[in-house]
Amino acid sequence: MIVKDAVCPFCGCLCDDIEVEVEGGRVVAVTNACELGTTKFMGEKRMKNPILRDGNQWKEITCDEAVRYAADMLLDAERPLLYGWSGTHGEAQCVGVHMAELVRGVIDNTSSVCHGPSILAIQEVGHPGCTLGVVKNRADLVIYWGSNPIDAHPRHLSRYTRYAEGFFLENAFRDRKVIVVDVRRTETAEIADEFVQIKPGGDYAVLSALRAIVQGKTETIPRTVAGVTREQLVRVANLCKSAKFGAVYFGLGLTMTRGKYKNIRNAIELVSELSRHTKFTISAMRGHYNVYGSNEVNTWMTGYPFGIDFSRGIAFYNPGETTAVDILARKECDAALIVGSDPAAHFPRRCLEHLSEIPVVQLDPYPNATTAFCNVQIPVAVTGIDAEGTAYRMDGVPIRTRKVLSSDYLSDREVLLQMYTLMQEAKGQ
């Protein structure tokens, strides 16, 4: 059986033109997806049954036992952390927020360690963004700043920018210029019309220099700024000003370096400056396929996009205090529910030291690094493969992921709902 127009649940591009061939309950071939998406569709190393850590060994338990364990763990905890959420569908994220509120816990998603700083900047100065379709059809200049789509979002270039056709561009490949700004000469840099190599940590200075040039203050710029010559900066500023429609896509090269959200704020303000001369937009290259959804769901349910603390009985948000890395590093939480992410692989070791000291339940289809710190892991269906649900593309467009095959695994939402029901009963609701 061939399933057409399947949605790829890997990165924030959420490509919706995938063809998946299914035979005997297995995916046997994938067309149109990149290497990352193909591998995810073909992945077979699922965990079979829920597992419980019993001393120094693992034993298999039933799903009911695992759900009961998780519900009791959250009910008994004084300050539970509910973390992850970017690798699951919006409907499951919704249940997660309700659970966090019920037990007065902290709910945080992976954006606190990816584009959280971008959101802090957007909260300061706004987000002049647009959908990917607008960029594809109109942009004659695309800037990738601190992002490497060839490795991280492989089809971004072919669907929307470098190699894409554009409705309002006669010859998109010739008429659309691509500028790459990075500290590394990545593969993406090789396909750029202009590559701007910045000394590490110099993004803020280069953004400020470009803003000054766009404002007509070129004479204030020194001969080089963070390793970039004044001549190149002027050339880039002129390319931007002479574009009919420019789009900046920035990655973790801006959010994870010195300055963090201030870098993004400066980039957004450069885009505002350019919009006095022409049309310019800026957007983040979101990583997980539904990390944008976790921000959306959290925001419309609580008012805040990530790092939400319900301990006061109301939603409280203070990144640096209510975010997962900080809470774990301060050894503050006394239980953790992990859904759709792998903090043991992606958090600093100090956080893992605390994970090893508290009860942890994880919902994940695969054994991963966090499995080692779990008391219980419940394998679930993979959204976009054997479960369906809503995900938000990196430009904020919600797309319903499709189920391409059926399995016996429950979806994240189904497992979480069972937990939530038990918790409500225990609370007498």
**Residue numbers 367-386 binding another protein by CB under 8 A:** 367-369, 371-373, 377
Instruction: Please give the Cα distance from 73 to 317 (Å, whole number).
Output: 24
Considering only 56, 171, 220, 429, the residue that binds another protein (CB under 8 A) is: 56
Instruction: Please give the Cα distance from 324 to 393 (Å, whole number).
Output: 24
Closest approach of Cβ 375 to another protein, in Å? 10
* Cβ atoms of residues 21 and 1 within 8 Å: yes
Considering only 26, 348, 425, 427, the residue that binds another protein (CB under 8 A) is: 348
Helix and strand numbers, DSSP H then E, in the chain: 18, 21
Q: Which stretch binds another protein (CB under 8 A): 67-75, 131-139, 361-369, 396-404?
A: 361-369
Considering only 345, 406, 425, 427, the residue that binds another protein (CB under 8 A) is: 345
Q: What is the dihedral of CA 13, 17, 22, 28, to 10 degrees?
A: -70
What angle separates helix 230-242 from helix 203-214, to the nearest 10 degrees? 60
Q: Which stretch binds another protein (CB under 8 A): 53-61, 132-140, 169-177, 420-428?
A: 53-61
Residues numbered 268 to 297 that lie near another protein (CB under 8 A) are: 287
Considering only 58, 163, 195, 316, the residue that binds another protein (CB under 8 A) is: 58
CA-based nearest residue to 383, from 84, 99, 116 = 84
Considering only 6, 7, 10, 280, the residue that binds another protein (CB under 8 A) is: 10
Name 197's Cβ contacts closer than 8 Å, sequence gap at least 6. Answer: 182, 183, 185, 189, 227, 228
Residues numbered 167 to 186 that lie near another protein (CB under 8 A) are: 183-186
Q: Is 404 in the site for another protein (CB under 8 A)?
A: no
Residue with smaller CB distance to another protein, 48 or 174: 48
Residues numbered 101 to 160 that lie near another protein (CB under 8 A) are: 108, 112-113, 116-117, 120, 148, 150-152, 154
Closest approach of Cβ 79 to another protein, in Å? 17
Q: Is 351 in the site for another protein (CB under 8 A)?
A: yes
Q: Is 52 in the site for another protein (CB under 8 A)?
A: no
CA-based nearest residue to 250, from 155, 114, 154, 385 = 114
Q: Is 253 in the site for another protein (CB under 8 A)?
A: yes
Residue with smaller CB distance to another protein, 206 or 325: 325
Q: Report the length, in residues, of the chain.
A: 429
Name 414's Cβ contacts closer than 8 Å, sequence gap at least 6. Answer: none
Angle among Cα 405, 406, 411 to the nearest 5 degrees reads: 110
What angle separates helix 63-76 from helix 412-426, to the nearest 10 degrees? 50
Q: Which stretch binds another protein (CB under 8 A): 74-82, 216-224, 346-354, 416-424?
A: 346-354
